[in-house]
Structure 1
Amino acid sequence: MRQLILDLLPQGHPALEDFVVGSNGEALTALAAWLMPGSRETVFLLWGDSGVGKTHLLRGSSPESCSDARQDPDLSSIAGAAPCLAVDNVEALSERGQLALFNQINRRRATGGRLLAAANVAPAQLHLREDLRTRLASGLLYRLLPLPEAEQLTALAEHARRRGLVLPPPALRYLFSRAPRDMQSLTALLTAIEHYALEHKRPITLPLLREVLHTSASSCA
């Protein structure tokens, strides 16, 4: 199934407005305010379990507001001149990357720049150098909470409706029962199936879903 997403999902940045808010309204409102010009807080840290949407929000913020160094454990490609830097998975930073991030935070404090970061746990639980953990904990901290299963199903149906897709309830339940349970993957899967249906000029039905998922499983074998 994840191979299906990789094969069919168009590349590009997710948008903040596509984020399924659920119980995270306060965090999303705070992030939007922090991204506005004039924000004086240097660090904004999102934390939570895998699949709650941290990467979505970092990538959705980075095209216009933040440069993006999320996949560089050493931050060797860091854009020091950018007014805002987005760094995902800070828990995975190497020693060199931790030092680079610590120096970036200090530099941005002095110059008015900002850092948007994401981690899988709260700063106090991160296995990082102490001075970096202290810097990360000094800013705005928001935990992202997962969507309950019923809300995920409702959100998936709403995403389909916005795209003008007709997903019969049996097809929706079938898809949801076999899909990853984080909304980022669910949304990506829906987009991939939409592209598959358009390419083959067929409506989205149970037979089409079975065909697509079977093809995906065969390609991963």
Structure 2
Amino acid sequence: MKQLLLDVLPAQAPSLENYVPGPNAEALAALRALPSGRAVYLWGPAASGRTHLLRAMVADSADAIYLDNDAPINTFQAVADGDAGHALLRRVAIDDLHAMDDARQACVFALYNRWRESAATEHALSLVVAGDTAPHQMQLREDLRTRLGWDLVFRLDALSDADKMAALGRQAASRGMQLAPDVLNWVITHVDRDMRRLSALVDALDRYSLAAKRPITVPLLRAMLAEQPEPSNPDSPPPTLS
């Protein structure tokens, strides 16, 4: 079968609204209501939605910033110290803490101290940090590891296939579409299982079905994916379907 390219389908921007909680509803509710002066540590395996939630928490906010292991060390230092334009930040999201080197860990440690010192003041900020394991199992400097448990801690679990199929079915129904079980099963077994990209696939399938004036079936879905253009950068091939 011809390789079917999914990377050209744009994923939805992360938001709390398009996060599918599955077993993580408690964590989502806490993030929705998170006030300044509170901190949350999220931990869980890959594909549990850590990055989605952290990016959603800072989306479209001029007074918020997202940092991961790729952020320059000078940016980490400025945020930790509250220097220059970073003094007015009200929310900081730190992703993939488990991957950070000693210098970045030192900055996150300083940031936790800044967060605690300012918690009861007009300069209070909220702090959302994510890693792949529980605080007591993190391989970090000890003084930082203990700070992860200072406030709220939530474990995130990856969505089951049943959760994803139910979420896609609800999304389709909200658009007036009906996805038959065989279509949902084909998507789950053949397509990249990132929920944002699966949601983008449902949106694209709705448009394609309307344009083709054909009902949504597995052959229609395969035809749509087969018509996607090749990626522009041959050195970075996208995930493929088999």
Looking at structure 1, the residues matched to 157 and 128 of structure 2 have their Cα atoms a distance apart, in angstroms, of 18
Q: Which residue of 2 aligns with 1:95?
A: 102
- Pick from 70, 73, 87 the counterpart of residue 72 of structure 1: 70
Q: Deviation per CA, 1:141-200, whole angstroms, max 9, x where unpaired?
A: 0011223322221111112222344433322221122123453443344345456x2796
Structure 1 regions of 5+ residues with no counterpart?
A: none
Match of 1:56 among 52, 55, 61: 52
Sort the Cα spacing of 1:184 and 1:125 in 2 relative to 1 into closer, same or farther, 3 A: farther
RMSD: 3.0
CA distance in 2, matches of 1:85, 1:171: 40
Q: Secondary structure at 1:24's aligned position in 2?
A: helix
Alpha-carbon distance, 1:117 to partner: 1.0
Shift of 1:211: 2.8
Which ranges of structure 2 fall in alignment gaps of 5 or more residues? 80-85, 119-123, 232-236
Normalized per residue, the structure richer in helix is 1
Provide the rounded CA distance (Å) in 2 between the counterparts of 1:202 and 1:104: 55
- Note the 1:153-192 alignment, pairs <5 A: 153-191=165-203
Alpha carbons of 1:201 and 1:18: their partners in 2 closer, same or farther (altered >3 Å)? Answer: same
TM-score norm. by structure 1 comes to 0.81
Q: Which has the higher contact order (CA 8 A, sep 6+)?
A: 2
Task: Decide whether the 8 Å contact of 1:47 with 1:122 is kept in 2.
Answer: yes
SS in 1 for 2:153: strand
2:157 paired residue among 136, 145, 154: 145
Aligned to 1:8: 9
The answer on whether the counterparts of 1:69 and 1:75 sit within 8 Å (CA) in structure 2 is no
Query: 1:75-100 deviations in whole A, cap 9, x for unaligned?
Result: 43344321210111111112211111
- The two structures have a TM-score, normalised by structure 2, of 0.74
Q: Which residue number corresponds to residue 26 of structure 1?
A: 26
| Structure 2 CA distance for partners of 1:124 and 1:191, relative to 1, 3 Å | farther
> 1:116 corresponds to which residue?
128
Q: 1:165 to 1:140 in 2, by over 3 A?
A: same
Q: Secondary structure of the equivalent of 1:138?
A: coil
Q: Is the contact between residue 64 and residue 92 of structure 2 (CA under 8 Å) also seen in structure 1?
A: yes
CA 1:153–1:67: 2 relative to 1, 3 Å: same
Deviation string for 1:124-153 (max 9, x for gaps)? 121211111111122210011223322221
Distance in 2 of aligned mates of 1:164 and 1:75: 48
1:16-59 CA distances to partner (integer Å, 9 max, x unpaired)?
Answer: 1222122222211222222x3xx443x21111111111111111
Q: Which amino acid aligns with 2:105?
A: Q
State whether residues 9 and 200 of structure 2, in contact with CA within 8 Å, keep that contact through their aligned partners in structure 1.
no
**Counterparts of 1:86 and 1:189 in 2: how far apart (Å)?**
28
Tell me the residue number matched to 1:106.
113
Percent identity over the alignment is 35
Q: Write the distance in 2 (CA, Å) between the matches of 1:28 and 1:102.
A: 25
